[in-house]
């Protein structure tokens, strides 16, 4: 099911990129949405819980035991209860026929012999490579699309990377300890020096993984399996960084479990929180036990309960980490599916209603309520949700309004016209099929209401649209919203980087800005404000070009894969909408964040990086350019002259 969904999503992703349509979740067919809803309701988003045991004498019996205790998969040594093969050993210890081909692929993860193919000793290195290559050959014979797991022993993995690149079948799961195992030995050593401790702390297993990831050229078949241990609980920042990786699973040793008052195996609260973070980004669970463990079913049941508690299953799950080109409603007419999805947002239109209501109360006193008429100009009516918000605000405030709806989409006009006849026949409402920039109104507006904001605030050209519509507003008139601000921050996301690379054969993928429901990401630093736009803009010479550099501090060794983009907007006074992760409006989903890719580079803890953004405008289009500007050298400048992503005027 996981593979099938991946194929389906990649197919839809391709179509969306080619058509240059849709903000994230806005371009799905109803059949596909129905499929996604059913799929999301399936077993915890299809997480698997794997039983990992070494020293077993029979793989079929291990599978039988695992399935009887509520596990979906097993992980065990490829050499089944034997030390690593001698390179020339002829007896493979078990035949391929003990399982069907399908079971080898779907039910078994092979752990490779724990030998060091990058040993500094030439003889040991050669012997290890011969043993390891025999394991690889046997695994490829048994599995044509399966998976093998190999433990990283340190930062030097050039030979291992070469083998991984050469292997053509299946996936490589790279087992990495979440903290350096050497640190645990210092608790029992009285002779350890401060220098030795500092050296061990600096030998970060994440760097082992990063070296391998770089050496394998960010291969999509290489995924990380993070191994927890009971001797050293990781810091919050360490956990957060792993969330930005291409995580396959986490290994939970049975020693992490304790027994509660009912003699049932549970995890301490601290470990529940840590594991919950991994579950939230779709990491699978591998429980490592010895063959004689009698509490197998308790472990599995407990972890499945934890999955239920931490898996945020909803209909938008399928959009996680997908890359799509943002909407361009100024030059393209939206379809009814797009409008329909936006209209289901439970929060946005209520806040717009609150803003209009507050503005009406401020502009019209109680004494004037029955006599004074407020002219509201709605710029972009869609299928009517903002109009309903205006009418609701008028009723709640007991104020009189005349509503002009300006909508350029002729297809939306048909729906709005029907609403006037059937729902708003007793309302003072007038519809005009016009571009707001070309509209000559019968009278000027007291309040101008619009929802022209994209995931980066101005990327649907709200400044150009509202500046062009300024002639519709009285000199003392107000705009709802009256201010929008974009934000950026550096991100690590191996998954998003891989998705960008998959698009390279067809488009200049590193010169696009995408919208995506960001999931497997690490925020290298908190978002900071970038560009601000004020409405109405009554400046004598209006200039909507912008250029700004923003500096960030790296909190932990990591890889920069791109830049996150967000916005917030002030509708009226202190009534705000935000998708900034620090201030996100609870329950609102109309906008996914943006992602601006960069070529990956490793950053070091404490390093300062500066990201420079340009908002460029010419006669026909608006576009962004972005660049990491760091001494001693600037990085690649992306989207020069808008040759990739641009917004057409």
**Catalytic residue list contains 526:** no
Place of tokens 């500046």: 467
Most confident segment among 79-88, 90-99, 364-373: 364-373
Structure letter (DSSP) for residue 218: T
Q: Judge whether residue 27 has pLDDT over 50.
A: no
Average pLDDT over residues 304-328: 85
Enumerate residues 6+ apart whose C-beta is below 8 A from 110: 75, 76, 77, 78, 135, 139, 142, 143, 146, 147, 148, 149
At residue 79, the pLDDT reads 83
Predicted TM-score (pTM) above 0.85: yes
Contact 467, 537 (CB under 8 A): yes
Is the CA virtual torsion 351, 355, 356, 361 positive or negative?
Answer: positive
User: Each residue of 186-205: pLDDT tens digit?
Assistant: 565 666 666 766 666 668 99
pLDDT tens column, 593-644: 999 999 999 999 999 999 999 999 999 999 999 999 986 688 999 999 999 9
Phi, psi of 140 (to 5 degrees): -70, -25
Residue 527 has pLDDT above 50, yes or no: yes
> Would you state the pLDDT for residue 343?
87
In the annotation, is 460 catalytic?
A: yes
Q: How confident is the model at residue 232 (pLDDT cuts 50, 70, 90)?
A: confident
CA distance 176 to 155: 11
- Comparing CA positions, the residue from 594, 23, 589 lying closest to residue 349 is 589
Q: Which of 245, 460, 464, 625 is catalytic?
A: 460
Q: What integer pLDDT is reported at residue 509 of this predicted model?
A: 95
For 341, phi and psi rounded to 5 degrees? -65, -45
Q: In 228-382, at which residue ranges do the beta strands (DSSP E only) sit?
A: 247-253, 257-259, 265-267, 284-288, 373-379
Residue 185's pLDDT band (cuts 50, 70, 90):
low
Query: Catalytic pick from 451, 464, 532, 625?
Result: 451
Percent of the chain whose pLDDT exceeds 70? 87
Q: What is the dihedral of CA 574, 576, 582, 586, to 10 degrees?
A: 120
């Amino acid at each position: 099911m996981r593979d099938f969904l991946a194929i389906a999503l990649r197919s839809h992703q391709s179509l969306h990129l080619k058509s240059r349509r849709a903000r994230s979740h806005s371009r799905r067919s109803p059949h596909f949405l129905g499929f996604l809803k059913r799929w999301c309701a399936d077993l915890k988003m299809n997480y698997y819980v794997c039983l990992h045991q070494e020293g077993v004498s029979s793989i079929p019996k291990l599978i039988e035991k695992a399935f009887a205790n509520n596990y979906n998969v097993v992980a065990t040594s490829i050499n089944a209860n034997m030390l690593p093969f001698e390179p020339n050993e002829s007896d493979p210890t078990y035949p391929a026929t003990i399982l069907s081909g399908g079971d080898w692929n779907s039910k078994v993860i092979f752990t490779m012999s724990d030998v060091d193919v990058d040993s500094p000793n030439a003889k040991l290195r050669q012997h290890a490579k011969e043993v390891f290559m025999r394991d690889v050959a046997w695994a490829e014979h048994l599995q044509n699309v399966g998976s093998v797991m190999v433990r990283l022993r340190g930062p030097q993995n050039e030979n291992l990377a070469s083998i991984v690149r050469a292997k053509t079948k299946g996936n490589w799961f790279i087992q990495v300890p979440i903290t350096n195992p050497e640190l645990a030995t210092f608790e029992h050593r009285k002779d350890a020096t401060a220098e030795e401790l500092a050296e061990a702390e600096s030998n970060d297993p994440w760097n082992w993984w990063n070296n391998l990831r770089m050496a394998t050229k960010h291969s999509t078949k290489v995924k990380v399996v993070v191994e927890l241990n009971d001797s050293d609980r990781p810091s919050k920042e360490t956990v957060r960084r792993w969330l930005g990786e291409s995580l396959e699973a986490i290994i939970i040793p049975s020693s992490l479990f304790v027994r509660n008052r009912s003699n049932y195996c549970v995890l301490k609260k601290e470990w529940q929180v840590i594991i919950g973070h991994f579950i939230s980004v779709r990491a699978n669970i591998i429980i490592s036990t010895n063959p004689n463990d009698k509490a197998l079913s308790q472990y599995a049941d407990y972890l499945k309960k934890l999955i239920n508690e931490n898996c945020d299953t909803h209909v938008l799950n399928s959009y996680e980490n997908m890359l799509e080109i943002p909407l361009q409603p100024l030059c393209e007419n939206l379809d009814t599916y797009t409008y329909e999805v936006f209209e289901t947002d439970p929060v946005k239109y209520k806040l717009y209603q609150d803003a209009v209501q507050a503005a009406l109360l401020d502009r019209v006193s109680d004494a004037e309520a029955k006599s004074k008429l407020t002219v509201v100009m709605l710029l972009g009516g869609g299928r009517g949700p903002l109009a309903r918000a205006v009418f609701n605000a008028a009723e709640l405030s007991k104020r009189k309004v005349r509503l002009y709806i300006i909508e350029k989409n002729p297809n939306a006009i048909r729906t709005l016209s029907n609403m006037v006849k059937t729902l708003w026949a007793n309302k003072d409402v007038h519809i005009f099929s016009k571009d707001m920039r070309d509209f000559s109104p019968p009278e000027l507006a007291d309040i101008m209401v619009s929802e022209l904001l994209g995931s980066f605030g101005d990327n649907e050209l709200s400044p150009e649209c509202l500046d062009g519509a300024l002639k519709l507003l009285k000199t003392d008139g107000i705009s709802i919203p009256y201010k929008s601000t974009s934000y950026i921050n550096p991100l690590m996301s191996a998954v998003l980087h891989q998705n960008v690379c998959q698009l390279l054969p067809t488009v200049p993928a590193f010169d696009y800005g995408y919208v995506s429901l960001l999931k497997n990401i690490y925020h290298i630093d908190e978002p900071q404000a970038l560009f601000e736009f004020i409405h109405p803009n009554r400046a004598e010479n209006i200039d909507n070009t912008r250029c700004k550099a923003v500096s960030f501090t790296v909190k932990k060794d990591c890889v920069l894969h791109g830049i996150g983009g967000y916005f917030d907007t002030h509708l009226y006074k202190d009534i705000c909408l935000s998708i900034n992760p620090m201030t996100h409006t609870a329950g609102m989903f109309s906008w996914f964040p943006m992602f601006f890719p960069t070529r990956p580079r490793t950053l070091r803890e404490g390093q300062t990086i500066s990201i420079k953004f340009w908002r460029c405008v010419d006669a026909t289009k608006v576009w962004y350019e972005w660049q990491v500007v760091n001494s001693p050298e600037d990085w690649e400048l992306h989207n020069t002259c808008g040759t990739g992503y641009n917004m057409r005027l």
